[in-house]
Structure 1
């Protein structure tokens, strides 16, 4: 799960990143309006944490741009502004949630989890697809009651494919999802092929065959 933290308070931003990284989220940071605009234009994110007071521009303008561009990201406003008008405006524009500073990082984490569960997995804590049962809270995978041991990257890849089931996901999209903006620095997508191959192998051993379809020269598709 990839998150963009748009927050000009660097200490708070780093605290958020450290906490969420420990929960296995892939986090990137933007500290001002221009950086936020650039990252949103170049990369896809599952969730955007958006401060309203940014150097160089207004956070609500970022929110409006995201919605005008039809960017498919969940958005949680994190702001010291406590005014009801700001909250209402943000939610009307299209934010999914609003969290006033200061807030416990544990609450932020669970709100991100709840948002992603609503958006991608029909508000369920346990996913069932083909022969698999995936517990999102425990981050565990079973096939016919038998545990399927996956690496973090394989688990992230599995959820990404299931979250986009029946749609073809490009190799570029997978590379970016797993590596963030580091994907631009990679010469090829060999690591994507390796993760797909290993995931397919482990799923097949667990009795879940033909779940991932390779679309020649395009990408991959999860078949439900």
Structure 2
């Protein structure tokens, strides 16, 4: 999962990022309205943690921007303890859930996972396509009931390909989704090719079909029409 945490407190933002990174997620930080809006215009995220109180604007205004621009990220509002109106306004404006300060990081994690399941995985933690099964709770992937020996990045890559099947995904979009926005400035994305190569080899070793097409000059596509 790739998360943008919009939080004016650098201490809280750093704690959130540290926790989510330890859980294996990509987490980018924005400390202001305009920094967040710039990131949202340039990059895509699975979920957005959105603090209502920002130093240069309102999180609710940023939420309106997200909806106007048809950004499909899940949204978790972070509100002050007694700010009932903010919670109601945020949910009415299209947020998926809210959490109240102060909060426990494991609860934040649980709410993010629930939003991700609803938004991206149709509410399921088990994703199945033909002989491939992915368990997003245990981070296990099986092909023809054979458990694959794959890394966390390879699991995330396979999940990203499966839930975006039949869409061409550029090497850059794969890189930023799995490694973070800093990859936007890299000269090449050869490391994406290497991960794709390793994933193909491991699926083939379990007698799985090679669904991953190379779209030359563009990137890769998980082709669901292959048998």
Q: TM-score range by the shorter chain?
A: over 0.9
Mapped contact 2:172–2:184 kept (Cα < 8 A): no
Per the alignment, residue 73 of structure 2 pairs with: 73
Q: Deviations over 1:114-168 (max 9, x none)?
A: 1111111111121111211211111111122221011121111111111212222
* Gap runs ≥5 in structure 1: none
> Equivalents in 2 of 1:157, 1:93: separation in Å?
32
Contact 1:170 1:219 in 2 (8 A): yes
Q: Could you tell me which runs of 5 or more consecutive residues in structure 2 were left unpaired when the two chains were aligned.
A: none
Q: TM-score, normalised by structure 1?
A: 0.95
- Matches for 1:122-201 after TM superposition, within 5 Å: 122-201=122-201
Q: Is the Cα contact below 8 Å between 1:6 and 1:32 reproduced in 2?
A: yes
1:223 and 1:184 map into 2 onto residues whose CA distance is 26
Displacement of 1:85 in angstroms is 2.0
In structure 2, distance between residues paired with 1:167 and 1:197: 19
User: Given that residues 130 and 208 in structure 1 are in contact (C-alpha distance below 8 angstroms), is that contact kept between their aligned partners in structure 2?
Assistant: no
In structure 1, the partner of 2:59 is 59
Aligned length: 224
Aligned-pair distance for 1:219? 2.0
Contact 1:28–1:180 at 8 Å: present in 2 too? yes
Whole-Å separation in 2 of the counterparts to 1:153 and 1:125:
18
Partner of 1:37 in structure 2?
Answer: 37
RMSD (Å) for aligned C-alpha atoms: 1.3
Asked if the contact 1:7/1:13 (under 8 Å) is kept, the reply is yes
Verify the 8 A CA contact 2:134 2:159 in the aligned structure 1: no
TM-score by length of 2: 0.94
